[in-house]
């Protein structure tokens, strides 16, 4: 059994709770707001709560921690957790730069703890099925991938860190990172950034809309993400057919649809994938790696590749201001 502590009471944390786990016990929660922490623990049946992250890290009854804190705190608390001997599952993006990630890796290696970046979509049957169809050549040679994930932040409950530059906010770090990782996940090749455009809410502010054009060998990939519209889908187009997946990266446990269209015969079929909670699957996988002493994936190498691409996007982007 792996005993897990959670740093913070972010909304995403709720998606891990209320689920039956195999070999995982969520034993502690920490919040800098003592009232919120106590209420959160009571509401979700968590045995212990702490009024500081440091106190939880010092708890010998915690084997591993999940870190859903704002982006700018990922490096600091991964390093602190590693020095306290805790295995680390940290939300995406693992860090805000390759330099930060290097320090995190050094700390984890020095303490002999395991590290994993939380890219929950990888644990959904949906995406494994899409990759299986691609590998088996169902749509022929992959020509391009169109990845879109946006939501209207004005209708979202609480903007928080997402709209704060100093906390690592912006749609690319929040949503676009999934697109960068997805292009690698499908092709096995590091995306090469050909062009990028960013729209910011004000000069020097966060990016509220982004469009990136990449190549992965002979395949073209586009990523669109933002906080000003609603979109959540991807399309894979091959020389024999296409795959379209709506509501593709959502972590909500809802039924997923996969549409396969084949040009020969103009045949369209629809697969229905039963609801899954990818956050539960992710945590169970991570705990299993801890118990077996196996290095979990995605780890530092994957995070470094994604961050390198992200840094290139920011360097090469044409920037504009959007109202």
Q: Among 209, 198, 199, which residue's Cα sits nearest to residue 175?
A: 209
Q: List per-block mean pLDDT (blocks of 10 residues) for the chain, which spans 323 residues.
A: 94 84 93 89 92 96 97 97 98 97 98 98 96 97 97 78 90 97 95 97 92 97 96 97 93 91 97 94 97 97 98 93 71
Say if domain 2-118 classifies as CATH 3.40.50.720. Answer: yes
> Which CATH fold would you assign to the domain 121-276+307-321?
Dihydrodipicolinate Reductase; domain 2 (3.30.360)
Q: Among 10, 4, 14, 90, which residue's Cα sits nearest to residue 253?
A: 14
219, two tokens: 């395949």
**Cα(147)–Cα(224) distance, rounded to whole angstroms?**
6
Residue-level pLDDT at 157: 60
At 199-257, the pLDDT tens digits run 999 888 999 999 999 999 999 999 999 999 999 999 999 999 999 999 888 888 889 99
Q: Which residues 6+ apart lie within 8 Å of 120 measured at CB?
A: 251, 278, 279, 281, 282
Q: Where do the structural domains in the chain lie, given as residue ranges?
A: 2-118, 121-276+307-321
């Amino acid at each position: 059994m792996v005993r897990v502590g959670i740093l913070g009471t972010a909304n995403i944390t709720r998606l891990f709770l209320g689920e039956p786990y195999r070999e995982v016990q969520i034993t502690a929660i920490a919040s800098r707001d003592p009232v919120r922490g106590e209420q959160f623990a009571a509401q979700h049946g968590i045995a212990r709560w702490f009024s500081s992250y440091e106190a939880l890290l010092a708890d010998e009854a915690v084997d591993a921690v999940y870190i859903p804190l704002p982006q700018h705190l990922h490096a600091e608390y991964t390093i602190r957790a590693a020095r306290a001997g805790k295995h680390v599952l940290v939300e995406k993006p693992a860090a805000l730069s390759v330099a930060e990630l290097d320090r995190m890796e050094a700390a984890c290696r020095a303490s002999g703890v395991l590290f994993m970046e939380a890219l929950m979509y990888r644990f959904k049957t949906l995406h494994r099925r899409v990759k299986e169809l691609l590998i088996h050549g169902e749509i022929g040679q992959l020509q391009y991938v169109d990845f879109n994930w946006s939501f209207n932040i004005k209708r979202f409950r609480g903007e928080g860190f997402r709209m704060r530059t100093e906390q690592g906010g912006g749609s690319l770090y929040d949503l676009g990172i999934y697109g960068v990782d997805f292009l690698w996940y499908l092709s096995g090749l590091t995306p090469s950034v050909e062009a990028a455009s960013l729209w910011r809410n004000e000069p020097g502010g966060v990016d509220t809309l982004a469009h990136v054009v990449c190549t992965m060998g002979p395949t073209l990939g586009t990523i669109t993400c933002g906080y000003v519209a609603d979109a959540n889908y991807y399309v894979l187009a091959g020389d024999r057919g296409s795959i379209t997946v709506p509501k593709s990266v959502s972590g909500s446990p809802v039924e997923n649809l996969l549409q396969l269209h084949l040009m020969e015969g103009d045949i369209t079929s629809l697969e229905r994938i039963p609801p899954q909670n990818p956050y539960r699957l992710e945590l169970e996988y991570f705990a299993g790696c801890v118990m077996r002493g196996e290095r979990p994936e995605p780890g530092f190498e994957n995070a470094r590749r994604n961050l390198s691409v992200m840094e290139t996007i920011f360097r090469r982007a044409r920037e504009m201001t959007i109202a």
